Amino acid sequence: AKEHDILETLVRNANHIVTIDALCEAVWGDNPFGYENSLNAHVRRVREKIETDPSNPKSLITIKGLGYKLIMRK
């Protein structure tokens, strides 16, 4: 369920940076603080499902210090 919420949030904001705080709030609600490590683990699992090479992502990229960006090509 958490992976679905993360992916849904990223798809709604495709090709834009989604901050770590915004993702945590979308997944864990009103008190999203302290979930950064859990978020990282869930994002890793999402990558394993959508990327050809999860160690070298092309679609779900990390924007250091900010969050994540889902690249969707037309």
Write out pLDDT tens, residues 13-65.
999 999 999 999 998 887 767 788 899 999 999 999 999 999 999 999 999 99
CA distance 51 to 28: 25
Interval 1-12: pLDDT, tens = 899 999 999 999
Total-model pTM:
0.88
DSSP β-bridge partners for residue 19: 67
DSSP for 52-71, written as a single string: SSTTS-SSEEEETTTEEEE-
Residue 68, classified by CB atoms within 10 Å of its CB into exposed (0-12), middle (13-18) or buried (19+), is buried
Please list the alpha-helical segments (H only) found in 1-74: 2-12, 20-28, 36-50
